[in-house]
Chains A and B, each alone.
Chain A
């Protein structure tokens, strides 16, 4: 069987049933929620209606309204947009930047120790705290929050890419290419970088989940996205004061967040086992 045929078969096996399929369905629903949020929403997620505040469950507001009278159902729908956007943005940027830095560290030995020690240093700072520091310096906007979430993710990608490059470096075909005098650019792009694709897809999935979690955590703490953006973290943060009377203000966005993260993590596990059975289990 060809390599591609084998991969397809493994993917089909993995998604044949059980948790992976359920996760895929949930994630598709969240994606649809995000894409069609303006159509599915019953109200403007940011429209303030003081007369309707904390309405509880009504026909007009299926999940009630928050302290400003905004429709919680519509806000949770729009929250899917923010989360997926932040997750995808952070995953793409950290993979791209990490790939470049990792290739440099792995291939040009002179740079290796400087780069890797810096990465060790960044990794020793808990990621939420690093993000908090960056945001408190730059002020909170979608862009700065995205940057602050992405930076702590980069070292993990760099480590991964570097280890792949170091492994591949001693392969016969790379040694042959070097001996034949192929230009460095060609060796890197043609012989080395393609090897990083499979692990990077898996790592990208985990960065995606981790970025969504970090954004929600930061926003929940009040140190994340500006409060006018309806992200799940922000909705929960604003609902906290009313939790004892209206637990739904916190629990609904929390449920959406938890289900999304759960699905992405399950899919990440499945992808890892499928694309790269040799790769070490995530710890």
Chain B
């Protein structure tokens, strides 16, 4: 177990280094003077010099790369060009709504999608199965910002059940906090539920063809027991994998959802930084999101051994 975990942790390191280098290279490989790109067209010479100074753009490229990597390791993502506030502090200030949204979405997904997949697989080709599959194509295809506005239209404008937009931290009361989180979580879950329900269905179908399922049937186990005890357990690995891989679309979704519902989280921060051309903030957030993605998938890989002790590398 331990050597496997260690090996897996070590294999994530090169990917993280490549991500760091790719992000580093984006600015330097874009044609033109990086400082001028960041400062915009009407920057004064003084501003250019200031940007070069603060980003170390005068140094040789390899020295810049070394500094960039060293800073990442020590948790320094630079400072905002606009406000001079460290990017890490901006992230810390804005992480709350994003975490709430992500945790809410993953919980709803697991609670809804896995039963959906099981039901569909259990009634293969039946009406329920077709409905689940149709819903999953729908969930894939309808963009989050369309779902989001349709939800606002019905639940906030027409029915008046929920506030239109905005965010309240849980410290200001649990009810207002949850009330404003319902629609964003619903909107964001759509894609994710589609993904997970589909994989749950197909991996259970695959497992149902195995010999040990036939054995269980022959022993007189009930359909429900076979689905839950035998099939689901063995289908867990692909399901957990897709939850991990789906984090990438979840991150994209967070950026969009926070914009639609005006949640002051990290996704809004990215958009604000883009509109203000605050490159160090954009760069820092992309690095953060990518590393989160890599680390979650690392955890998922390690979880395999818990779900399926046969897996050893």
Interface residues of A, Cβ cutoff 8 Å to B: 19, 117-118, 120-122, 124-130, 132-138, 209, 213, 216-217, 220-223, 236, 243-244, 247, 250-251, 254-255, 257-258, 261-262, 264-266, 269, 281, 283
Contact = CB atoms under 8 A, between A and B. Distances in A.
B180 interface: no
Contacts of B145: 217, 220, 236, 254
B293 interface: yes
A217 B195 contact: no
Contacts of B277: 136
A261 B15 contact: no
Contact of A221 (B138, B274, B283): B274
B150 A137 contact: no
Given A129-B270, A221-B259, A254-B143, A124 B252 contact: no
B27 A137 contact: yes
B119 to A, nearest CB: 18
Interface in B261-282: 270-271, 274-275, 277, 279, 282
Contacts of A120: 15, 18
Contacts, number: 139
A283 B18 contact: no
24 contacts: A117-B14, A117-B15, A124-B18, A125-B23, A125-B286, A126-B251, A126-B286, A126-B290, A128-B252, A136-B277, A136-B279, A136-B282, A138-B30, A217-B256, A220-B256, A221-B259, A222-B274, A223-B271, A236-B149, A247-B149, A254-B146, A258-B141, A281-B198, A281-B202
B289 interface: yes
**Interface core residue of B134, B283, B286 (most chain A CB under 10 Å):** B286
A135 B270 CA distance: 13
Nearest to B16: A124
B43 to A, nearest CB: 14
**Interface core residue of A126, A209, A244 (most chain B CB under 10 Å):** A126
Contacts of A133: 23, 26, 282-283, 286
B282 A209 contact: no
A19 B130 CA distance: 11
Nearest to B297: A124
Nearest to B277: A136
**Secondary structure type dominating chain A contacts:** helix
A118 B18 contact: yes
A262 B303 CA distance: 34
Given A125-B19, A221-B271, A283-B245, A251 B286 contact: no
A250 B150 CA distance: 9
A276 B259 CA distance: 39
B236 to A, nearest CB: 15
Given A129-B255, A221-B256, 5 more contacts: A132-B282, A217-B252, A220-B145, A265-B141, A281-B198
Nearest to B152: A243
Given A220-B256, A254-B143, A121 B15 contact: yes
**Interface core residue of A134, A135, A217 (most chain B CB under 10 Å):** A217
B149 A243 contact: yes
B285 interface: yes
A261 B37 contact: no
Contacts of A127: 248, 252
B10 interface: no
Interface string B171-195: 0000000000000000000000001
The 3 closest A-B pairs by CB, nearest first: A121-B18, A254-B146, A262-B141
